[in-house]
Structure 1
Amino acid sequence: MKIAVLSDVHGNLPALSAVLDDIEGWGADQVILNGDLVNRGPCSLECLRLLQTRVPESRCIKGNHEAYVLACAEDPLSPEDPTRELRLFAHWTYHQLGSAVADIAAWVEHYDLDAPAGASLHITHGSRLGYRAGISASTSAEELAEKLGPPRDLFVGSHTHKPLIKRFNGTLVVNTGSVGQPLDGDERAAYGRFTLENGRWQAEIARVPFDKPRALQDMDESGFLEHGGAVTRLIRLELEQARMHVGSWMREYLPRVKAGEISVAAGVESYLRSCEA
């Protein structure tokens, strides 16, 4: 049995297309989308339709960005809220998806399989602690035990955009990395390949080149940068460099934005100048 798990596409159509080609060549028996297919990028609707067309039997799990988009229906984007600009690209995605929002609303939050010894598994976007509680190389043993929860032979998460394979207390723990916006310094798309042989799981991270110039052009021409707020400039830089910028910006500037000391746009300008220095 061969299962492909892909995640964090973030509206990157060239990357998704390349990964689906690779999965087809590998001969997966099942394809699981582990969240964040949409948002944080320019081609959410196109990615959703491509997945539905090429792998109509795929199992889809919600990530935090699906949750952000779904929340737009109840988000008034108050002008008095200094953080409203941080949510503009989610609203842009919400309007791009239109009636297809109902498709992602039906997705589940995890896939849990009780199976004979050696073959049980749990797949979720972050961990058992939530969408955004991802597992990384720096996760402590105590924290990891909490995030894994009830024992499974294989635990698959994503969210951090950085792939990982390790064993912990008898569990094979895998972070699949990101299809559309890898942040580990390797600009190739990443996804997880899982093989069940003789009652035991084996895992590997596949890396797949994609047409990055086309993906950057999609950002430039889709309206994503124009209508998604200043933070989209950081997202574009992340795609260019395959390393994190939004998280670094948030740690440094978000408290100041919330305090009314600086606008999001001014904070982004300041951060980008520091990157050039």
Structure 2
Amino acid sequence: MRIAVISDVHSVADTFRSALEDARRTGFDQMVILGDLFTYGVDPVECADLAIEAVERDDALLIAGNHDKLYLDLEGSCSAYYDRLPEWIMESAQWTWSQLGEKWPRRLETIQEWAWDGLLLAHANPFGFGNWTYLSSPELLAEAARVLRERGFRAGIFGHLHREATYSDDLGTLVHIVDSTGQPRRKGFQRTSWTLVEVSEAQIEIESRSIPFDRERLREQIRMVPNLSQETKTKLCGFYL
């Protein structure tokens, strides 16, 4: 089984499109969009259209992340998560919601997680949907491996952290975090990518495939957005320095 994993797009259409095109050229049996289609970037409508096309053309599965659940909640008049956001993220979310209209969530069905042959895919971690803990330390990676094994899995693929990481415990339980497709956060080494996961009875092979991105173009797109404060624009541009 060859699984194409695209994660943390965050409304950046250029890299999302490049990831989809490269995945199609490479070939896969199942495509999984691992959550966080929106917020931060300035192409939410185009990203929604690309996701809809991936679902219809590629039978892609869309796993909800925290920045998808945010808009699902808003659609249902629930703002508990939104109300806890920092003001600048709240402003980005408000702008995104105003652009999306009925494209989200009514035209895109999400799932909470997906499993195949001992492999679990979820947005953030194996701790359950709605737990957005970042697997950002050796202790948390070890806990994720323990929970995976407890749940009957031999490996887990997650996003959310925006920085690639791999961990395997003494019993061989694998935890892999994929890079972001739209908003890299690794200090000193920024790249956007998608990930090819090949699952067999004997092993799980993981290949991170880099895709080009134009930092200055992304910053300029953000600067040109009306109705966002300068403080928010500065924060958003800061991801692409």
TM-score (norm 1): 0.73
Q: Is the 8 A contact 2:6 2:195 kept in 1?
A: yes
Q: Is the 8 A contact 1:7 1:158 kept in 2?
A: yes
Q: Deviation at 1:98?
A: 0.4
Q: Deviation at 1:5?
A: 0.8
1:179 is the counterpart of 2:177: no
Could you tell me which amino acid in structure 1 is paired with residue 181 of structure 2? V
Partner in structure 2 of residue 190 of structure 1:
193
Partner secondary structure for residue 128 of structure 1: coil
Partner in structure 1 of residue 20 of structure 2:
20
1:110 is the counterpart of 2:110: no
What do residues 195-232 of structure 1 show as CA deviations (whole Å, max 9, x unaligned)? 12354321122222223333223222233xx4267344
Q: Is the 8 A contact 1:63 1:131 kept in 2?
A: no
Q: Deviation at 1:55?
A: 5.0
Partner secondary structure for residue 222 of structure 1: coil
Q: Deviation at 1:86?
A: 4.0
Q: Deviation at 1:104?
A: 6.8
Q: Distance in 2 between matches of 1:24 and 1:137?
A: 34
Q: Deviation at 1:145?
A: 4.1
Could you tell me which amino acid in structure 1 is paired with residue 174 of structure 2? L
| Deviates most, 28-37 or 185-194 | 185-194
Partner in structure 1 of residue 38 of structure 2:
38
Q: Is the 8 A contact 1:18 1:208 kept in 2?
A: yes
Partner in structure 2 of residue 205 of structure 1:
208
Larger Rg: 1
Provide the alpha-carbon RMSD of the alignment. Answer: 2.8
User: CA 1:85–1:182 in structure 2 vs 1: closer, same or farther (change >3 Å)?
Assistant: closer
Could you tell me which amino acid in structure 2 is paired with residue 217 of structure 1? E
**When the two structures are aligned, how many residues end up with a matched partner?**
231
Q: Distance in 2 between matches of 1:37 and 1:86?
A: 15
Q: Distance in 2 between matches of 1:160 and 1:4?
A: 18
Partner in structure 1 of residue 94 of structure 2:
91
User: CA 1:76–1:3 in structure 2 vs 1: closer, same or farther (change >3 Å)?
Assistant: closer
Partner in structure 2 of residue 235 of structure 1:
236
Partner in structure 2 of residue 69 of structure 1:
71
User: CA 1:236–1:138 in structure 2 vs 1: closer, same or farther (change >3 Å)?
Assistant: farther
Q: Deviation at 1:19?
A: 1.3
Partner secondary structure for residue 105 of structure 2: helix
Q: Deviation at 1:188?
A: 2.0
Q: Is the 8 A contact 2:141 2:175 kept in 1?
A: no
Q: Distance in 2 between matches of 1:228 and 1:208?
A: 30
* Greater fraction helix: 1
Q: How does 1:127-138 map to 2 (within 5 A)?
A: 127-129=125-127, 130-138=130-138
Could you tell me which amino acid in structure 2 is paired with residue 227 of structure 1? L
1:47 is the counterpart of 2:50: no
Partner in structure 2 of residue 101 of structure 1:
104
What do residues 24-71 of structure 1 show as CA deviations (whole Å, max 9, x unaligned)? 221122110000011121111211201322452110000011122233
1:151 is the counterpart of 2:149: no
Q: Deviation at 1:177?
A: 1.5
Q: Deviation at 1:173?
A: 1.4
Q: Is the 8 A contact 2:145 2:168 kept in 1?
A: no
Q: Distance in 2 between matches of 1:95 and 1:217?
A: 21
User: CA 1:71–1:227 in structure 2 vs 1: closer, same or farther (change >3 Å)?
Assistant: farther
| Deviates most, 139-148 or 161-170 | 139-148
Q: For structure 2, list consecutive stretches of 5 or more residues without a partner in the other structure.
A: none
